[in-house]
Amino acid sequence: MIVKPTVGWIGVGRMGYELAKRLLDAGYDVAVYNRTRAKAESLIEYGATVVDRPVELAGRDIVFSMVAASNDLRQVMLEENGLLTDPSSAPRIVADASTVSVEISEEVRAAADARGVGFLATPVSGNPRVIAAGKLTVVASGPRAVFDETRPLLETWGRGVTYAGDGEVARIVKIAHNVFLGVVFQSLSEITVLAEKAGVRRQDFLEFVNDSVMGSVFSRYKTPALVNLDFTPTFTNVLLQKDFDLGLDAAHELGVVMPVASVVRYLVAQEVGNNNVDQDFASLILTVAEGSGLSLQPENADVSDGLEVS
């Protein structure tokens, strides 16, 4: 009989909640910490236990974290009551699924290494509906042996797990991915507005795009938002701006020119400056339309996002 490792989980926002639940559904013993305890308590019905401080998870075999920003990762790992602050106890492995800077990840990795703790960067691509559909993807970096031990748990999250190499390279993969996401969506918004201003319904235009070689999982799952103007948040402009900044900082550090990404970052920052901070970033299409002299209306069409649960 194979004994499953005990699991700790830090951070149960929209994504963290769904990923922790996947581990619980797969039969893992999961203890959870969240800054707002009530959010963690919602996992109790699925078998989770709840703790009040990250350091209380130090006795777990593998601890995952998924927090909003770089400083949040430092706080839950290294500052008062952080996971790695108990001199007498530490997990075997820490795996962080957040989208954070390379510098903060290196700092946490060094602290983990000093304690003999294996550290993985394990950022993900998707949103809660992608997780529910079993289509989430994961990229990981760190010691290969640590990845091999952690892989069965990562595979509970979705359809693909990629090992990118040692160190922090998974951070760059995820940051590059999110910059691409923003650039692609801005372009998709512009061409959709172009088609509508010429007299084509958004539903019809996006049906054509999605069935063409230019269609993708991404274009399809953003189609309902674009057609029906439902901007219930899955990823906000605030988070997108953060990731553009991480990407452009990395580009500056590595000497890579990114003129298109720089322009889109400016457009996203304008949205944040105009207080468009709570809607999904798909609301960028409204600004494109306004600048084009077009007032968009919901089409109230029954269109699929391609994320039927598998």
pLDDT tier, 167 (very low <50, low <70, confident <90, very high otherwise): very high
The CATH homologous superfamily to which domain 7-167 belongs is NAD(P)-binding Rossmann-like Domain (3.40.50.720)
**Predicted local confidence at residue 309, as pLDDT:** 65
Q: How far apart are CA 47 and CA 7, in angstroms?
A: 12
Q: Where are the alpha helices (DSSP H) in the chain?
A: 14-25, 37-41, 70-78, 102-114, 128-132, 144-154, 169-197, 202-211, 217-221, 223-228, 237-254, 259-273, 284-291
CA neighbours within 13 Å on the CB side: how many for 302? 0
CATH number of 173-291: 1.10.1040.10
Residue spans per domain, the chain: 7-167, 173-291
- 94 three-class SS: strand
Q: What is the mean pLDDT of residues 140-161?
A: 97
Q: What is the CA radius of gyration of the chain?
A: 20
Q: How far apart are CA 99 and CA 111, in angstroms?
A: 19
Q: Is 70 exceeded by the pLDDT of residue 268? A: yes
Q: How far is CA 241 from CA 35, 230, 269, in A?
A: 24, 21, 6
Q: Is 90 exceeded by the pLDDT of residue 125? A: yes
Q: Of the candidates 88, 86, 108, which has an alpha carbon nearest to the alpha carbon of residue 97?
A: 108
pLDDT digits (tens, 9 = 90+) for 26-78: 999 999 999 999 999 999 999 999 999 999 999 999 999 999 999 999 999 99
**Predicted local confidence at residue 307, as pLDDT:** 87
Q: Of the candidates 240, 132, 231, which has an alpha carbon nearest to the alpha carbon of residue 184?
A: 240
Share of residues in the chain with pLDDT > 90 (%) = 94
pLDDT tier, 129 (very low <50, low <70, confident <90, very high otherwise): confident
Q: Is 90 exceeded by the pLDDT of residue 1? A: no
Q: Of the candidates 236, 257, 241, 259, which has an alpha carbon nearest to the alpha carbon of residue 175?
A: 241
Q: How far apart are CA 122 and CA 133, in angstroms?
A: 20
Q: How far apart are CA 263 and CA 59, in angstroms?
A: 47
| 6 neighbors 116 (Cβ within 8 angstroms) | no
61 burial level (CB within 10 Å; 0-12, 13-18, 19+): middle
- b/e sequence 294-310, b meaning 16+ C-beta within 10 Å: eebeebeeebeebbeee
| 38 neighbors 67 (Cβ within 8 angstroms) | no
Q: Is 80 exceeded by the pLDDT of residue 124? A: yes
Largest Cα span, the chain: 68
Would you state the structure tokens that stand for residue 136, as one six-digit string?
Answer: 């989430």
Q: Is 90 exceeded by the pLDDT of residue 20? A: yes
Would you state the structure tokens that stand for residue 165, as one six-digit string?
Answer: 């190499």
Would you state the structure tokens that stand for residue 275, as one six-digit string?
Answer: 């207080």
On the question of a common fold for 7-167 and 173-291, the answer reads: no
Q: How far apart are CA 159 and CA 203, in angstroms?
A: 28
